Amino acid sequence: MIEVAVFNHNCNYNAIKLTKEFRKFANTYLVDSGSRFENEEERSQFDSILPNVFYCGMLNDIVKHYNSSTNTVLFIASDVKVTNSKLILERASKAFQDPKIGVYAPSVNKEGSNHPQMRNKKTNGFRDALFVDGFCFAARMELLNKIFPIDLKLNKIGWGVDVYLAYIALNSNMICVVDDQVKVEHYVGPNNHPNPEKFIDEAKTQRYLWYKSLSKGARNYNKMASIELFKNQIGAKFFQMLYR
């Protein structure tokens, strides 16, 4: 069974909406990081209210919450628009019936991701991906337990977690897939930040410091994952074959 986690920072209305939708079909945990609340009623909708611990702090909390109760978690950022929550869960469940699939993600609208492998390719099914984006994905707990908790002193913004998760999956004889049969929308990115240049520089610095603490294999994988040649289905298959 797949459990769901919605994580939020100042997108309260959609966070609550997403949670209500997914709770029709699965256990759903709503966590907040340093948001402003309109009133106590709004605040009471959240299961976990944290100080501003950023992306990795929320994922740390989610993995800790679900650690002993589930095999798979679907993570959804509160700025993601979902039209069919039931279909995502059904498709994710189907994906994880294959023991070779360790990480799953729905495809995304063309404008919604810097990672071209996430954009819908109209294949109507699962396709291999070098890694999947971190705003909406599902992963097996056995993989998550090899990554989390992440040291927030090194990386709280979370750049590089998506690639490292793919590396851990490959080392566990699993792959990442993107599903073109279901699509979500996501428009927010670093350039929407009030001070994007500073934010991006800080995110890159944190990613560098965090990767320095990881294995040489993880560092090499991160470098290879930046090569555009691999960011399509054929490239991902070729890279996985080389790496394994």
User: Could you report the per-residue pLDDT of 183-213, keeping only the tens digit for each?
Assistant: 999 987 665 667 778 999 999 999 999 999 9
pLDDT at 128 over 90: yes
From CA 229, how far away is CA 18, in angstroms rounded? Answer: 35
User: Could you report the per-residue pLDDT of 3-25, keeping only the tens digit for each?
Assistant: 999 999 999 999 999 999 999 99
pLDDT at 141 over 90: yes
pLDDT at 115: 83
Residues paired with 183 in a beta bridge: 107
From CA 169, how far away is CA 143, in angstroms rounded? Answer: 6
pLDDT at 116: 85
Instruction: Return the domain boundaries, the chain.
Output: 2-243
By CB atoms closer than 10 A (0-12, 13-18, 19+), residue 155 is buried
Which residues have a Cβ under 8 Å from the Cβ of 5 and sit 6 or more positions away? 28, 29, 30, 31, 62, 65, 66, 73, 74, 75, 76
From CA 93, how far away is CA 208, in angstroms rounded? Answer: 34
Phi, psi of 204 (to 5 degrees): -65, -40
- Would you place residue 242 in the very low, low, confident or very high pLDDT band (cuts 50, 70, 90)? low
CB 51 within 8 A of CB 33: yes
User: Taking the domain 2-243, which CATH number applies?
Assistant: 3.90.550.10
The token pair at 219 is 């560092």
From CA 158, how far away is CA 235, in angstroms rounded? Answer: 25
Residues composing the chain: 244
CB 45 within 8 A of CB 105: no
pLDDT at 23: 98
pLDDT at 229: 66
pLDDT at 234 over 80: no
pLDDT at 192: 61
Give me the chain's average pLDDT, please: 92
Q: Which helix (H) or strand (E) holds 90?
A: helix 85-95
User: Could you report the per-residue pLDDT of 46-94, keeping only the tens digit for each?
Assistant: 999 999 999 999 999 999 999 988 899 999 999 999 999 999 999 999 9
By CB atoms closer than 10 A (0-12, 13-18, 19+), residue 242 is exposed
pLDDT at 1: 83
pLDDT at 167: 95
